[in-house]
Amino acid sequence: AARLHGKTAIVTAAAQGMGRAAALAFAAEGARVIATDINDALLAELADVPGVTPQRLDVCDPAAIAAFAAATPAPSVLFNCAGYVHAGTILDCDEDAFDQSVTLNVRSMYRMIRAFLPGMLEAGGGSIINMASVASSIIGAPNRFIYGTTKAAVVGLTKSVAADYVTRGVRVNAICPGTVDSPSLHDRMRALGDYDTARAAFIARQPMGRLGTAEEVAALAVFLAADESAFMTGQAIAMDGGWSNT
Ligand code: NAD
């Protein structure tokens, strides 16, 4: 039987990468999925996928979130996947870069959960999945100052909300990937100048000697969305090719 039969899901940053893979995996397991992003062209590619409804949503825009929440019933599954990797140390991170990462990586989740949690509670529960990273409270990655700071905040946010609603049917877990093949990863490789050297360095971070795939992470998201994981909340689950085990 389909593992998410009868469930509804909202996914942010669903146009590409892990968000897209999760939206497709949720739909393939029988969920009705609202796939949101700011990239209209890529979202349009999802229009013909059975079970998937693409919809524009900028998770940095509080008015857009309020309008979306007013028009959208609370889902059984909320996957907050949107996030941005700022490269650099604390000395490379000015106030604007700091605020941008906090807004996109953390405040977006605060806003989305505030918008949909009341409805999820009213419906008797649900599963919230937040995209963190192993570069967070788990490990310190070089040149990932504000990224690691915000992803550690995602872990704290996850555990805090999980603790407050543990008796009311809402579960909250975080996914902490290592380096995963995605369009923005290739942008980061190109930005470093020497693409092949950058690619080799990104691969070398994983003791398994390869990148993760968006589909591997999507499989974990399906598990966290499904009732199979009903006894699990407040967890930050690493899927990282062994990176955090070194
Ligand atoms: P990606 O970075 O290639 O794509 C990100 C998507 O987010 C794009 O479709 C983009 O349009 C969308 N987006 C950007 N700003 C948005 C906004 N304001 N509102 C809505 N959507 C917005 O995808 P990815 O690499 O799979 O990353 C997805 C998530 O996983 C991010 O939170 C990222 O930090 C996290 N992550 C990525 C890796 C990795 O190695 N790729 C590892 C760990 C964690």
Band of residue 62 on the pLDDT scale cut at 50, 70, 90: very high
- Pocket mutation for ligand 1, best pick of 12, 20, 37 (most atoms within 8 Å of C-beta): 37
Which atom of ligand 1 is nearest to 60's Cα? 18
Contact 12, 37 (CB under 8 A): yes
Hey, is 209 helix, strand or coil?
A: coil
Give the tens place of pLDDT for each residue, 225-242.
999 999 999 999 999 999
| Catalytically active residues, by annotation | 147
* Ligand 1 pocket at CB < 6 A: 12-13, 15-19, 37-39, 58-60, 81-83, 85, 104, 131, 133, 177, 179-180, 182-185, 214
Cβ atoms of 205 and 178 closer than 8 Å? yes
Inform me whether the pLDDT recorded for 123 exceeds 90: yes
Question: Hey, whose CA ends up nearest to atom 41 of ligand 1?
Answer: 180
Distance (Å) from CA 19 to ligand 1 centroid:
7
Q: Given this model, what pLDDT does residue 242 score?
A: 98
pLDDT for residue 194 is more than 90: yes
Q: How far apart are CA 69 and CA 36, in angstroms?
A: 12
CA 105 – ligand 1 centroid, Å: 9
Q: And the tokens for 186?
A: 């290739």
Q: What is the pLDDT of residues 26-40, one digit of tens each?
A: 999 999 999 999 999
pLDDT at 1: 81
What are 2's two structure tokens? Answer: 């389909």
Ligand 1, atom nearest to 180 Cα: 40
Q: What is the pLDDT of residues 70-121, one digit of tens each?
A: 999 999 999 999 999 999 999 999 999 999 999 999 999 999 999 999 999 9
Query: pTM value?
Result: 0.99
Ligand 1 atom with the smallest distance to the CA of 85 is 34
